[in-house]
Amino acid sequence: MLTATRRSQFRRLWRAGHAAVLYASPSKHCLRTILRRRFRETSAAAAASEEQVENTLRFLHAAASTRGVEHAIVRNLCHVHWQRAFTKKRPIKQDATFLDVVDARRTAYKDMDLTLLMLNRTLQLSLAY
């Protein structure tokens, strides 16, 4: 069960995230899935300090107000989340070219995770994928 402060953080992040993706239906659902998973993990939700949540809210409000770098980051995070979920559901073929594509995606996901980790550390954010 969520405490009142964590529930409030969840709702504030959800509202700001919806505005950041301009209420686009696929991105809204990806954002909801990301937030739910993040807040259900007790260690990850507890690790996010109040300062990180406030910085993340400011980042999401900036993404909502202008279609600049912040908006592109949020949009790409939602797209990567959707792409990961889609590729997990597909059966893996034993074709050599398909396996090369899967390997390339894994490498790209590792780079994306590292970039997101460094962005979180630099800006004191708690963005998740």
Q: What would the pLDDT profile of 35-85 be if each residue is shown by its tens digit? A: 888 888 866 555 678 899 999 999 999 999 999 999 999 999 998 888 888
Exposed / middle / buried, residue 78 (Cβ in 10 Å: 0-12, 13-18, 19+): buried
Q: How far apart are CA 12 and CA 28, in angstroms?
A: 14
CA atoms within 13 A on the CB side of 25: 0
Model confidence over 71-92: pLDDT tens digits? 999 999 998 888 888 766 666 6
Average pLDDT for 22-42? 87
> Residue 14's CB: how many other CB atoms inside 10 A?
17
Q: How far apart are CA 106 and CA 120, in angstroms?
A: 21
31, 18 in Cβ contact below 8 A?
Answer: yes
pTM comes to 0.81
